[in-house]
Amino acid sequence: MKILTTIVLSLGLLTIQINAKEEANKKAMSIIKEMLEANTLYLKSQSQDEFKMVVEGQDPRITLVSCSDSRVQNSAIDSSPENDLFVIRNIGNQLISNEGSVAYGIKHLKTPILLIMGHSRCGAIKAAMSDYSAENSAIRKEVSTLALSIQNSCERGDPQKWIKNIVNNVHKQVEYSLQEYHNDVDKGTLMIVGAVFDFANDMKHGYGQFNVVNINGEDVEEKFDALKVNVKDKDKDMIQTASNSK
């Protein structure tokens, strides 16, 4: 009787697993279908010449190290990122996770800018501020390198310090990059820029703002606030001119 009960339970469990897998596969296939449809629309908006222009090679201006977070997308900072952004993404926008890829952007593609871009509400930073010992070893490894960049700058584990740690991590990543690429900076062939994409308005400059906080190791957050005001004024002028000319 006991054996029969075990067999029935096992079969039940197996059926649930098979059903769950089928459901997951169905969902995945519908996502793939959406991607194919998006690609069809994309192709309609592109001419063959645009592809021919990039076939021979790439010529980006920016090596970008940003977080893998899906709320951070390049269109927020570049209206045509194709052939302009050489993108490296990982959790916590870290140099150490992809040193070879960053070096490729700077040494081979010779981008004049290395941009390290953090973002508000970064889960990797939050993890580094808390107990992440239950995570799998690969995640622990990447979070631990973040923790190293944070622990010297302010207290860990305090949620109030989240955005401060995010900004501090960007400063730290710029500092690490300078150690590696100071010769290029000294020669004037590279500028290392640290910024935070703030979709949550945690830095109080507005929702979705691209806040430049560091240039070649110098904290420039306040300077760039002033520049942003100027850009906004310029936009206002352009809008005014456009509406006058109608």
Helix (H, G, I), strand (E, B) or coil at 147: helix
Of 190 and 194, CB closest to Zn ion: 194
Q: Which one of residues 67, 143, 147, 215 is an interface residue with Zn ion (CB under 5 A)?
A: 67
Q: What residues between 77 and 96 interact with Zn ion by CB under 5 A?
A: none
* DSSP secondary structure string for all residues of 8-56: HHHHHHHHHHHHHHHHHHHHHHHHHHHHHHHHHHHHHH--HHHHHHHHT
Contacts of 129 (CB under 8 A, 6+ apart): 150, 156, 157, 158, 159, 161, 162, 165
Q: Write down the least CB distance from residue 116 to Zn ion, Å.
A: 12
| 69 counts as binding Zn ion under rule CB under 5 A | yes
Task: Kindly determine how many residues on this chain lie close enough to bind Zn ion according to the rule CB under 5 A.
Answer: 4
CB of 173 to Zn ion, least distance (A): 12
Helix (H) or strand (E) holding 101: helix 99-103
Minimum distance, C-beta of residue 67 to Zn ion, in the bound complex (Å): 3
The least distance separating Zn ion from the CB of residue 7, rounded to whole angstroms, comes to: 47
- Binding of Zn ion at residue 143 (CB under 5 A)? no
Minimum Å distance from CB 205 to Zn ion?
Answer: 19
Closer CB to Zn ion, 68 or 189, in the complex: 68
Place of tokens 């006991």: 2
Binding test (CB under 5 A) with Zn ion, winner from 122, 193, 195, 213? 122
Tokens 């070649």, residue located? 216
DSSP-H helix ranges across 136-207 = 137-151, 162-187
Q: Which is nearer to Zn ion, 124 or 190 (CB)?
A: 124
Helices 162-187, 137-151: crossing angle, 10 deg rounding? 80
Task: Please report whether residue 202 would count as binding Zn ion according to CB under 5 A.
Answer: no
Do residues 195 and 211 make contact, with C-beta atoms less than 8 angstroms apart? Answer: yes
Nearer to Zn ion, 65 or 124 (CB): 124
Provide the CA 192 distance to its chain's centre, in angstroms: 16
Q: Near Zn ion by CB under 5 A, which window of 48-56, 63-71, 191-199, 200-208?
A: 63-71
Residue 72 beta carbon to Zn ion: minimum distance, rounded to whole angstroms: 7
Which residue ranges make up the site for Zn ion (CB under 5 A)? 67, 69, 122, 124
